[in-house]
Copies of this chain bind each other. A is one copy, B any other.
Amino acid sequence: MNKYNSISGFRLQRIEAISDGVFAIALTFLALDLKVPVNTLVHTETDLLHTFLNLAPKLLTYFLSFITMGIYWLAQSTQFHYIEKSDRNLNWINLFFLLAISIMPFTTAFLSEYIHFKFSIFLYWLNLSLLGQILGLNWYYARKHTLIAIEGDEEKTVTKNIKARIIESQTLYTIAALFCFINAYISIGLLVLIQLNYALALLSKRKR
């Protein structure tokens, strides 16, 4: 590592601050697509209900994208609870994570425009996959270079759970994506179900 790089990147809190900024914008920008249609043809409450129901697919896409972002935001936040130091490389790993987050609205829009094509499913899967892999790299790197705050059994448990979650989710995403060779809608439906499952574990019991 060259001399400049060896004095660079120690400011852990800035990684988290810029991440929260990027996520906040990504979350909010998704909602900008929700345009209210003009009311020329709306005369009755029933007309308005129909107008609103036409927006349902957009609202649903928004809801799902929001949840996907939430999952990855929480996953990064979880890792940083245990990371106490940073260096230049950890900064770049997280910048690439944010890069993959910031193109998520693009790959999502690409999928919804070309919903019956294998290539657009592949692209969406690639984006999800990249996010998982970068998160894996983040934890692997932090551990290897002793940037984390925990050790011994606690470190082993946390590492095991992080690893298991990444491998499990990547496997599920890949299986779901491969279903596109049978039917695109099944493939997308499965991807959605997997996301929902991770978010709505909300309903799961919490150990006291």
Choice from B20, B22, B202 contacting A28 with Cβ under 8 Å = B22
Q: What is the bound-complex CA distance between A78 and B157, given in angstroms? A: 33
Assuming the contacts A92-B199, A145-B208, A201-B1, asked whether A39 and B8 have C-beta atoms less than 8 A apart, the reply is: no
Which of these binds chain B: A66-74, A171-179, A185-193?
A: A66-74
Q: What is the bound-complex CA distance between A66 and B95, given in angstroms? A: 9
Assuming the contacts A9-B74, A16-B17, A34-B103, asked whether A1 and B204 have C-beta atoms less than 8 A apart, the reply is: yes
A109 & B36 in contact (Cβ 8 Å cutoff): yes
A102 & B7 in contact (Cβ 8 Å cutoff): no
| Chain B contacts for A205, CB-based, 8 A | 1
> What are 24 A-B interface contacts by the 8 Å CB criterion?
A1-B204, A2-B204, A3-B164, A5-B204, A8-B78, A9-B77, A14-B20, A18-B24, A21-B24, A25-B25, A31-B103, A36-B106, A45-B119, A48-B114, A59-B103, A63-B99, A66-B95, A70-B92, A87-B206, A88-B201, A89-B202, A89-B206, A92-B202, A145-B206
